[in-house]
């Protein structure tokens, strides 16, 4: 009996050692690959940015005249006005290394600014839409949310609120049109957003 216990312990220890060695080698290989890509990215020459998917703000959908007495809403309006003159690009899901490989290392600061503008836009659209919805302006909130989705936002609250509005307005069939957008997202929020849509969609029939 003691021999079996000792033998089992030795086999288990050996298996753990082998697995640990493989894990270390795998981690080392991944790190080496990362630094190779990073070096290649840093040596990538500047490329034209003409083909970027720039986001143009449809100023006609923004309800500038509503809720003027609410300071936060005034902040949202000012943010949109300031972004209207700025380049906005959604790079969600892309790393700096990938951006440098695709567009050139010298462009990374510029590209980061474009992406930060998008992050601010997506957050502002959600917050503004929520304020509109909470104050009874569902139609205006829906416009902002639908525009946000058209830019492929990965703000989960945007999809949740839009689904709620669709249901409350008696148009739950519109939820189905959100699935292709959600499924095409490349960020970590892709699966949670799809689950949100599934939760609402199951009550749409």
Is the pLDDT at 49 greater than 80? The verdict is: yes
Ranges of each domain in the chain? 36-46+66-201
The number of residues making up the chain comes to 205
* pLDDT tier at 169, thresholds 50, 70, 90: very high
* pTM over 0.75, yes/no: yes
Of 41-50, 77-86, 134-143, the one with minimum mean pLDDT is: 41-50
The C-alpha atoms of residue 100 and residue 35 are separated, in whole angstroms, by 13
Look up residue 49 and give its two tokens.
Answer: 């940015």
The yes-or-no verdict on residue 43 having pLDDT over 90 is: no
Give the list of residues 6+ apart from residue 142 with CB closer than 8 angstroms, or none: 129, 162, 165, 169
pLDDT at 90: 97
Are 83 and 117 within 8 A, CB to CB? yes
State yes or no: pLDDT of 205 exceeds 60.
no
Domain at 36-46+66-201, CATH from 1.10.3470, 1.25.40, 1.10.472, 3.10.100: 1.25.40
Q: Are 187 and 92 in contact (CB under 8 A)?
A: yes
Q: To 10 degrees, the CA torsion angle through 76, 149, 178, 201? A: -20
Rounded to whole angstroms, what are the CA distances from 122 to 7, 28, 110, 161?
60, 37, 19, 14
Instruction: Identify the burial level of 179 via C-beta atoms within 10 angstroms of its C-beta, where 0-12 means exposed, 13-18 middle and 19 or more buried.
Output: middle
Q: Residue 19: exposed, middle, or buried by beta-carbon count in 10 A (0-12, 13-18, 19+)? A: exposed
Is residue 108 within 8 Å of residue 38, measured between CB atoms? no
pLDDT tens, residue by residue, 87-119: 999 999 889 999 998 898 999 999 999 999 999
Q: What is the enclosing helix (H) or strand (E) of 136?
A: none
């Amino acid at each position: 009996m003691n021999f079996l216990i000792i033998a089992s312990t030795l086999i288990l220890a050996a298996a753990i050692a082998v697995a640990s060695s493989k894990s270390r080698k795998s981690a080392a290989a991944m790190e080496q690959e990362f630094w190779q890509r990073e070096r290649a990215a840093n040596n990538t020459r500047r490329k034209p940015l003409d083909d970027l998917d720039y986001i143009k703000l449809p100023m006609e959908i923004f309800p500038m005249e509503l809720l003027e007495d609410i300071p936060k809403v005034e902040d949202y309006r000012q943010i949109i006005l300031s972004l209207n003159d700025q380049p906005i690009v959604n790079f969600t899901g892309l790393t700096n290394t990938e951006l440098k490989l695709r567009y050139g290392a010298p462009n990374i600061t510029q590209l980061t600014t474009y992406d930060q503008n998008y992050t601010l836009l997506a957050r502002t659209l959600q917050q503004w839409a929520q304020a509109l919805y909470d104050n009874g302006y569902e139609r205006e909130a829906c416009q902002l949310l639908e525009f946000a989705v058209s830019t492929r936002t990965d703000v989960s609250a945007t999809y949740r609120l839009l689904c709620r509005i669709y249901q409350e307005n008696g148009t739950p069939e519109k939820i189905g049109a959100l699935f292709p957008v959600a499924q095409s997202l490349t960020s970590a929020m892709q699966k949670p957003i799809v689950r949100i849509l599934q939760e609402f969609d199951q009550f749409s029939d």
